[in-house]
Structures are given as C-alpha cells and as structure tokens.
Amino acid sequence: MSHALTGTLGDVGEFKLIAALTATFEQSDQVLLGPGDDAAVLRTPGEQVVASLDMLVQNRHFRLDWSSATDIGHKAAAENLSDINAMGGRTTALLVGLGAPADLDVTWALDFAHGLAEEAAKVEASIIGGDVTSAEAITISITALGRCDHGVVRRSGAKPGDLVALAGRQGWADAGFAVLARGFRSPRAIVDAHRQPQPPYHAGPQAAELGATAMIDVSDGFLQDLGHVAVASGVAVDLEKARFEVPEPLQAVGAALGVDPLRFVLTGGDDYGLIATFADGTALPDGWRVVGRVLEPADGVQPGTVTVDGAAYDDSGGHQHFR
C-alpha cells in the first residue's frame, strides 16, 4: 500500500501523523462527530452503551519480527471487538491510543491503522478518535463502545443443567505461538491464526437472541476463561474431550512438537471464540458446538471448578499478566 507520508514519527510530528491516521478511518452514520474535536459524538438509539478497554504492549502481546504492522492492527481491533461480542453486542466505535518511539518509521503507524480499519469494518464499527504519544516501546490502548440489541449477556448467569457451547476456532492461535516461539513459520494457517485471529463476530448477538445465560470470549485460555464464568455463576462445569474438534493443522503441530494437540484447545487463548451457556434443549445453529454441561457443585467441589471428563485437567493454566 502507498502512503503520503515518509520518514520516522519524529520527522513527521504528532499533528501530521494524526491527520494521516484519521484520514484512514471512514465514519458510519452512527457517528455524529468523528475525530478532530475534543471528543466524538455517537448516536445511541438505546439507553445502554457497552464499553471495554484493552492494551497491547510490544514484546508482551506482539513481536515485530513475527507480525506486520497490519497484522497487529487487525489483532488489536479483534481483541476489543471480541469483548463487546462476548456481551452479546456489536461494536459501533473504537477509540485508539498509540505510544511509539520517535524513530519508528511512519509507514508502520499507517499500516497499523489500515489493519485496524479493515478489522473494524467487519462489524461496521468506526474508529472515531484517540491519541498518540512518544513511548519507549509500541503501546496500544483501545476503547470499544457498542450496543446489545438483544440484551446484555453476563458471565454470571450460568445455571446447573445448562449446556456449555463453543463458537469459533479454538487452539489455532496458541499453536501458532508455539510454532513461532520455536523459530518456525509453518504451517502457514496456524501462524496466520496467531497473527490475525478470526473471531465469530456474528455469534455474540446470535447467542443473546437465543437466550444464552452466560458468555465469555476466549482470550487467555479456554479452561481459565470458562472458570471465570463458573466462579461468577457459582457453579461447576464438566467438559467432554470427545466433543472438541482437533483439526489436522493442530494435530500436525502437536506431532511435530511432541505435545498433545488437545492442550492447545483447552489452554490456548487469542482466538477470541465464544463460550456460552444455554438452557438444556436449546437448538443451537451451525457454528456452535456443545462441549460440556454446567453442574451443581457437589460436596467437596468448590464453585468455579472446571473438570474434563470428570477429573481435573493436568494443565489448566492460561495466559496471566505480571508472570
């Protein structure tokens, strides 16, 4: 892609950079006032606005030798769009903060903006403003704003007897991380899954409309994130290994690295699929897979316990910050 600006961020300066970045972002008819003033103004047909914020830090959440600026833009947007999706909603607007070294080439920032815009367009969300500043490492902060047309789905509503279901890919991004961490760049589909996740953006509103009792996105690890639902709902959950799909690319990576590929599925994050609970008997559409059931905590079993085939999984960890 071609860019009007060249040089480094220090050469270009803050205001020319902001003008170039904001020119990348088209505004939907829900934006009454976009970038350029002290704040943006959105049209809100309902009384509730759903909001979320996430940060990404260079060498903690992404590496420049693994992912292009466009990839990182896609991933940064997807992470935030997914949070609104997990509430049963659709993102309408993003606010983006970017901290970067002054000697970073300006084309990196513009390619990053292009990736942001492409991902946001998948749900017709607008990027309505933000801020840029100097930083020692690239730091990204995004606030997502959205609405839930079918009601908000929280983590705390799962009930004993509910079905546990998954929408979207699971384990692909974690397998891609494992491949990249060992210095490889294939299988390409697995590596691309780490670079640009593919959240099921349609599935959040769909689950809300179907009456999902609880929902969360898989950002830090399937077992870990499902555990958050179990704790918030005061229930236990049991999963069935046989109900999970382990696609051939994950099997190939597992064989090459000498690990059980199911580990990628059960403990991996960053695919931003959805875990939702539904009343027993709910007819789930294509794209949803039942993988377990919500249980009443038994004697000696703490609320929040997640088991696999009735037993504790031998690797229930997931991503944790500050570790």
- Residue 323: predicted pLDDT: 47
Asked if 293 and 310 touch (Cβ cutoff 8 Å), the reply is no
| Whole-structure pTM value | 0.88
Asked if 163 and 290 touch (Cβ cutoff 8 Å), the reply is yes
Taking the alpha carbons of 154, 155, 156, 159 in that order, is the dihedral positive or negative? positive
Residue 321 has pLDDT above 50, yes or no: no
User: Which range scores top for mean pLDDT: 7-11, 51-55, 78-82?
Assistant: 78-82
Look at 1-10, 85-94, 105-114, 138-147 and tell me which has the smallest mean pLDDT.
1-10
Residue 38 has pLDDT above 70, yes or no: no
Q: Using CB atoms within 10 A of its CB, is residue 280 exposed (0-12), middle (13-18) or buried (19+)?
A: exposed
The pair of three-digit structure tokens given for residue 62, joined into one six-digit string:
């992404």
Residues 241-260 pLDDT 10s: 999 999 999 999 999 999 99
Domain definitions of the chain by residue range? 9-147, 163-308
Query: Which among 223, 214, 220, 96 has a CA at the least distance from the CA of 161?
Result: 214
Asked if 175 and 257 touch (Cβ cutoff 8 Å), the reply is no
Residue 154 has pLDDT above 50, yes or no: yes
Asked if 87 and 48 touch (Cβ cutoff 8 Å), the reply is no
- In the block, tokens 């309408």 appear at 92
Asked if 177 and 312 touch (Cβ cutoff 8 Å), the reply is no
Residue 56 has pLDDT above 60, yes or no: yes
> pLDDT: is 17 or 143 the higher one?
143
Question: How far apart are alpha carbons 83 and 91 in whole angstroms?
Answer: 9
Given this structure, which CATH class describes domain 163-308?
alpha beta
Question: How far apart are alpha carbons 32 and 26 in whole angstroms?
Answer: 13
- Residue 322: predicted pLDDT: 36
**Residue 69: which H helix or E strand, with range?**
helix 69-85
Q: Is 76 helix (H, G, I), strand (E, B) or coil?
A: helix
**C-alpha distances in Å from residue 168, one per residue of 20, 49, 102, 222, 258:** 34, 25, 38, 12, 25
Residues 185-234 pLDDT 10s: 889 999 999 999 999 999 999 999 999 999 999 999 999 999 999 999 99
Fold of 9-147: 60s Ribosomal Protein L30; Chain: A; (3.30.1330)
Q: Matching CATH topology for 9-147 and 163-308?
A: no
Strand order in the sheet with 288-295: 214-217, 274-278, 163-167, 288-295, 236-239, 306-308
- Residue 314: predicted pLDDT: 80
Confidence of residue 18 (pLDDT cuts 50, 70, 90): confident
- Residue 194: predicted pLDDT: 96
At CA 171, angle to CA 119 and CA 137, rounded to 5?
55
Confidence of residue 116 (pLDDT cuts 50, 70, 90): very high
* Residues linked to residue 139 through DSSP beta bridges, in sequence order: 57, 99
